[in-house]
Structure 1
Amino acid sequence: MKAPQIPTNETIRLKALKEYSVLDTLPEKEYDDITQLASQICGTAISTISLIDENRQWFKSKVGLEVAETPKEYSFCGHAIVDPGQIFTVKDSRLDERFQDNPLVVGDPHVVFYTGVPLVSPEGFALGTLCVIDNKPKELSQEQLKALKALSNQVVSLFELRKSKILLELLTADLENRNKELEKFARVAAHDIKSPLNNISGLIDILLEQYSFSLDDNAKMMMSMLVTSSQTLRELVDGILEHSQSDHVLTEKKSVFKLDEVVTKSIELLDPTNQYHFIKEYKAPLITANKIALQQIFLNLISNAIKYNDKERVEITIGFSENADFYTFHVLDNGAGIDKKYQEKIFDIFEIVANVDRFGKKGTGVGLSTVKKLVKGLGGKINVQSTKNTGTTFEFTIAKQDFL
């Protein structure tokens, strides 16, 4: 018996094999279908998907064979992987000095005929073989060899899919960890920034209350500017925190609820004194969705419709429709409108179009970015239609899904 040669690239070949994380895994139907088909096409009693590591030949899938692995030095496949570009065939092992006294020939499973197609990775490393075996002499036709080669390509494709899936899972886990770290940082940063800001605002209020008589108009104006700047920075911090937590909001379970519950609650929070005029263009639909995410979307859109409205009578219309696949919502206002050249930019984080809102405050450029992120996470899209000085309509969709 002659043991197989060690491939010249053995170290990196083994590294490539282990990157697939397939050794010692459980049987899988996709692989078993291939070995079954190979055995039927070639008319052999045995077919295997064999992988060769440092010490053994391990079978990912097998037909007509009971053992899970054999020693590497006994393996026919060990010979086959030495030349990845060639199909390795032994017509009658009893007449071949390399194999005639091999334990796999003189004992079970009595290998006489063997043909193995190397399983070659995209980088050119032979990982093992797809092989067919019989206990009598045999020779495959060109059509059978061609079919066997095609099946071997499918095995490698399955390996590649497995590796891609593993990589994707690792990247997803890493991204989730990074998002958790970012969210934690945002919470800590929000607390650490807002605390001194609150102290500054409090001290300015005390100064204005107790020492206003000794301050001139210029000093009072500067104090007022400090209060405004502190408030703007607090709002920016709140916006960044809301944006960072939007991924967490999207993990909330879906529920069945009345749309008007969400709309009415949003209006009550943003217009507690009933200063503005709201029109509801829907009846009382029941919808199945992520209620918390939808609430956050409406709060942002309605808040903007109020803040950036330059009319004495603020009118906001909220509408709804649906089809087989999507819920569609719109929030329409009669405000200042958005210049066409800015309509795509408004969804970019920190992009600020208006100088100040109706209350004299400058926006943070975070709200609409958060809205777009939430809508996209809910399987929908958002767009804006606006005419300068006549109003703006935000329309967004949410994909319908079964209630879970």
Structure 2
Amino acid sequence: MIKPDIPSNEKERMNALHEYHILDTLPEQDFDDITKIASEICDTPISLVSLVDSDRQWFKSKVGLGANQTPREHAFCAHAILQPDEILVVPDASQDERFHDNPLSTGDPNVIFYAGAPLINPDGHTLGTLCVIDHTPKNLTEKQLETLKALANQVVGQLELRKKITHLSVVQEKLKQKNEELSQFAYTTSHDLKAPLRGIISITSWINNEYKDILDEQGKEYLNMLDSRTRNLENLINGILTYSRSSDIIESSKEEVILSDFLQEIIGLVHPPKDIDIVFADHLPTIACNRIALQQILQNLISNAVKYNDKEQGRIEVQFKENQGHWQFEVKDNGPGIPQQHHDRIFQIFQTLGEKDRFNNKGSGIGLATVKKLVDSLNGEIEVTSEERAGTTFIFTIAK
């Protein structure tokens, strides 16, 4: 028996192999399908996806073999990786000086015929082989050899795909961690700002009450400006807190919601003025959903429809219907409408149209971004249709 040489680029080859994080993993259907096809096409009882490690060959997939690995010094595949540009074919191992007394030939699994197509990754490193084995002397046709090589390329494709998925999973986990850190930072910072902000609002209110008869008109104007901007900042901070907590809201479990009672509760929270009617159907069903998330979505949309309504008699309609796989809601108002060119922009965080609401407050640009984030996370979609001066309709779905 002749032991296989070590490739000149062994260190780089091993680094490349380990980057796939494939060694000692469980069987996978995609690889098993390839070995089954190889065995059928080449008419051999054994087919393997063999990866050559530092001191062993390990089988990611196998047909007709019980072992999971064999010593590298006995591996036919360790010879095959030395010839990356061609398929190693051993018609009869008993007549080949390299293998005639190899334990794998003289004993179990009785390797007499061997053909191994090298697995070459995009960087040119040979990771192992896709090989077929028989217990008697044999030859393959040119078509069989071409097919074996093509299947070896498919193995490499699966390795690359698996590597990319693993990499994406790592990146996704890091992004998730960063998002959690940013959310926590936003929450902590916003929460810490609320106390001094309340103090400023209280002082402004106190000055206004105690010194309103002393202040001239310009002083009163400055004080009102300070109060208005301070309250706008408070709204912004509250919006950031809600946005940063939206991930926690999403993780809430589903529960039964009686929609008629639920909408009545939200209207009570919004507390619309008398010149705005909010209507919905009398008999709405009970649905299973993330109650907290749905409340945040509907409360935000209805509250916006109230705040920005410019009609003498405002009207807001909430409609519900059941689609296959989703619940669908519509919030329709007869307000000023939103120009078409702003329909995508309104869902971006901190983006506003610059208009003040009926209470003379400017929006923070966080509410609709939070709505979009919640809807997306509930496997739904949201869209807006609007006609200037004729009202706006928000339509959103959430998965059942």
Q: TM-score, normalised by structure 2?
A: 0.92
Tell me the matched-pair count.
400
Tell me which residue corresponds to 1:391. 391
Deviation at 1:30, TM superposition (A): 3.9
Superposition pairs for residues 163-202 of structure 1, below 5 Å? Answer: 163-202=163-202
Q: Deviations over 1:106-146 (max 9, x none)?
A: 34333222110112223332111111122322111123223
1:225 aligns with 2:225: yes
Deviation at 1:56, TM superposition (A): 1.3
Q: Verify the 8 A CA contact 1:282 1:319 in the aligned structure 2.
A: no
Superposition pairs for residues 69-80 of structure 1, below 5 Å? Answer: 69-80=69-80
Q: Verify the 8 A CA contact 1:46 1:133 in the aligned structure 2.
A: yes
Deviation at 1:386, TM superposition (A): 2.3
Q: Verify the 8 A CA contact 2:300 2:371 in the aligned structure 1.
A: yes
Structure-2 separation of matches of 1:251 and 1:77 = 50
Tell me which residue corresponds to 2:340. 340
Superposition pairs for residues 126-275 of structure 1, below 5 Å? Answer: 126-271=126-271
Q: Verify the 8 A CA contact 2:187 2:244 in the aligned structure 1.
A: no
Deviation at 1:354, TM superposition (A): 4.2
Q: Deviations over 1:176-224 (max 9, x none)?
A: 2112212211111111221221121122223333444443332222122
Tell me which residue corresponds to 1:352. 352
Structure-1 separation of matches of 2:304 and 2:112 = 80
Tell me which residue corresponds to 2:324. 324
Q: Name whichever of 30-39 and 66-75 sits farther off.
A: 30-39
Tell me which residue corresponds to 2:7. 7
Q: Verify the 8 A CA contact 2:57 2:69 in the aligned structure 1.
A: yes
User: Residue 123 of structure 1: SS of its match in structure 2?
Assistant: coil
Structure-2 separation of matches of 1:394 and 1:302 = 10
Structure-1 separation of matches of 2:33 and 2:379 = 36
Structure-1 separation of matches of 2:218 and 2:103 = 101
Structure-1 separation of matches of 2:342 and 2:151 = 55
* Compared CA separation, residues 115 and 378, structure 1 to 2 (3 A): same
Structure-2 separation of matches of 1:339 and 1:386 = 7
* Unaligned stretches of 5+ residues in structure 2: none
* Aligned partner letter, 2:386: S
Q: What is the Cα-based RMSD across aligned positions, in Å?
A: 2.2
Q: Deviations over 1:150-169 (max 9, x none)?
A: 33233223323322332232
Q: Verify the 8 A CA contact 1:279 1:316 in the aligned structure 2.
A: yes
Structure-1 separation of matches of 2:340 and 2:38 = 63
Structure-2 separation of matches of 1:214 and 1:259 = 53
User: Residue 397 of structure 2: SS of its match in structure 1?
Assistant: strand
Structure-2 separation of matches of 1:244 and 1:289 = 21
Q: Verify the 8 A CA contact 1:375 1:397 in the aligned structure 2.
A: yes
Q: Verify the 8 A CA contact 1:194 1:234 in the aligned structure 2.
A: yes
Q: Deviations over 1:325-370 (max 9, x none)?
A: 4332211222222233333322222221142110111111111122
Deviation at 1:290, TM superposition (A): 2.1
Structure-2 separation of matches of 1:238 and 1:301 = 16
Tell me which residue corresponds to 2:313. 313
User: Residue 245 of structure 1: SS of its match in structure 2?
Assistant: helix
Structure-2 separation of matches of 1:32 and 1:340 = 53
* Compared CA separation, residues 318 and 121, structure 1 to 2 (3 A): same
Q: Name whichever of 38-47 and 220-229 sits farther off.
A: 38-47
Q: Verify the 8 A CA contact 2:121 2:156 in the aligned structure 1.
A: yes
Tell me which residue corresponds to 1:291. 291
Q: Verify the 8 A CA contact 1:282 1:320 in the aligned structure 2.
A: no
User: Residue 222 of structure 1: SS of its match in structure 2?
Assistant: helix
* Aligned partner letter, 1:21: H
Percent identity, please: 48
Deviation at 1:303, TM superposition (A): 0.6
Deviation at 1:391, TM superposition (A): 2.0
* Compared CA separation, residues 339 and 36, structure 1 to 2 (3 A): closer
Structure-2 separation of matches of 1:390 and 1:107 = 86
Structure-1 separation of matches of 2:348 and 2:28 = 46
Tell me which residue corresponds to 1:32. 32
* Aligned partner letter, 1:286: T
Deviation at 1:398, TM superposition (A): 2.5
Structure-2 separation of matches of 1:116 and 1:66 = 19
Q: Name whichever of 380-389 and 52-61 sits farther off.
A: 380-389
* Aligned partner letter, 2:50: S
Q: Verify the 8 A CA contact 2:187 2:245 in the aligned structure 1.
A: no
Q: Name whichever of 115-124 and 60-69 sits farther off.
A: 60-69
Q: TM-score, normalised by structure 1?
A: 0.91
Structure-2 separation of matches of 1:58 and 1:17 = 12
* Compared CA separation, residues 26 and 219, structure 1 to 2 (3 A): same
User: Residue 48 of structure 2: SS of its match in structure 1?
Assistant: strand
Structure-2 separation of matches of 1:338 and 1:99 = 79
* Aligned partner letter, 2:35: T
Structure-2 separation of matches of 1:345 and 1:352 = 8
Structure-1 separation of matches of 2:341 and 2:32 = 59
Q: Verify the 8 A CA contact 2:275 2:312 in the aligned structure 1.
A: no
* Unaligned stretches of 5+ residues in structure 1: none
Deviation at 1:51, TM superposition (A): 0.6
Tell me which residue corresponds to 1:116. 116
* Aligned partner letter, 2:172: T
Q: Verify the 8 A CA contact 1:320 1:327 in the aligned structure 2.
A: yes
Tell me which residue corresponds to 2:278. 278
* Compared CA separation, residues 228 and 288, structure 1 to 2 (3 A): same
Q: Verify the 8 A CA contact 1:385 1:392 in the aligned structure 2.
A: yes
Deviation at 1:392, TM superposition (A): 1.9
